[in-house]
Structure 1
Amino acid sequence: MTITVDGIESTSLAPGDSLARAVIISLFTWRRANADDIAEGQKMGWFGDVAEPLVANDKIGSRLWLLSREKLVQSTFNRAREYAREALQWLIDDQIAVRVDVSAERYGMDGMALVCTITREDGSNISLRFNDVWEKVRAI
């Protein structure tokens, strides 16, 4: 996966990039589907979400995997943005960030990119761009 962290494109992260790693885990680990999600009988998700969490509604990952059979249309971009925001909400809840902004946009002719900007309490930002999200979601 190619990501861009604060304008620097890379396929790997430096050891000190713990926030970037947390964002990657949050976005690309499968979150268990909600009861009202159309998941073709598959709820998937991280096995730990089956057990009762220590913190109410505490779940790991995102539901981006649900988009694997969708067409690349505006409603898919909207859902991708919604799923990414949901997956990153814990950063605000746990006071790691004061704000999380996510955009989903077309990447090339048949791809999707996600841009996540996390604002820390001190006002500094980290911006992560994932250029090949659609390829990763569709490869499931």
Structure 2
Amino acid sequence: MATDIQVFWSPDNNQGDWQTLGPDLATGNDLQTAILVSLFTDRQAAPDDVIPDGTGDPRGWWGDAGNTTLIGSRLWLLRRAKQTTETLQRAYDYIAEALQWLIDDGVVASFDITVEWQRATFLGAKIVAHQQNGTDQSTAFQFVWNGLT
């Protein structure tokens, strides 16, 4: 069974990247990589979403054109959001929406998602993936949404 190129998350740089393992790209940890790609790739904004930078650019991946299942999340829409309970709910909704394909495709049985304000301008998210084999994989993102006002 082939594995995907692994994405490594850097909370200090707020980005994911590939790493080499000798002359090759590191592979493995497919579920973690799928979660990272799902959360931190920009999904196209819905027609009624307000674009935070005022450009009207709905972003998204060109490969999503005409598809019913879109890649990524709309977390990017929170870039200039206020630190409110409504923003927490939107973050939760965007995360659940982005990860739903993993449930629909039978990759995981379900997710538990928790979002909270960890301190001023820092939104944290904890995601527990309940896998089909009965094991759990937990991931926390503590600095991802740094800069919300």
Alignment TM class, shorter chain as reference: 0.7 to 0.9
1:130 to 111, 118, 141: 141
Gaps (5+ residues) in structure 1? 4-10
User: Matched residues in 1 for 2:27 and 2:123: separation?
Assistant: 27
Give 1:62-73 correspondences, 5 Å limit: 62-73=73-84
* Gap runs ≥5 in structure 2: 1-9, 20-25
**Partner in structure 2 of residue 47 of structure 1:** 62
Residue 98 of structure 2 corresponds to residue 82 of structure 1: no
* Superposed CA RMSD: 2.2
Spell out structure 1 runs of 4+ moving beyond 6 A: 11-14
Which structure shows the bigger proportion of residues in helix conformation? 1
Higher relative contact order (CA 8 A, sep 6+): 1
Residue 16 of structure 2 corresponds to residue 2 of structure 1: no
The answer on 1:36 being equivalent to 2:45 is no
Relative to structure 1, is the Cα distance of residues 68 and 96 closer, same or farther in structure 2, using a 3 angstrom cutoff?
same
CA distance in 1, matches of 2:84, 2:78: 11
Task: Using structure 1 for the length normalisation, give the TM-score.
Answer: 0.81
Q: Supply the distance in 1 between the matched residues of 2:44 and 2:93 (Cα, whole angstroms).
A: 15
Aligned length: 126
2:11–2:144 Cα contact (<8 Å) kept: no
Instruction: Identify which of 7, 24, 36 aligns with 2:36.
Output: 24
Shift of 1:12: 8.3
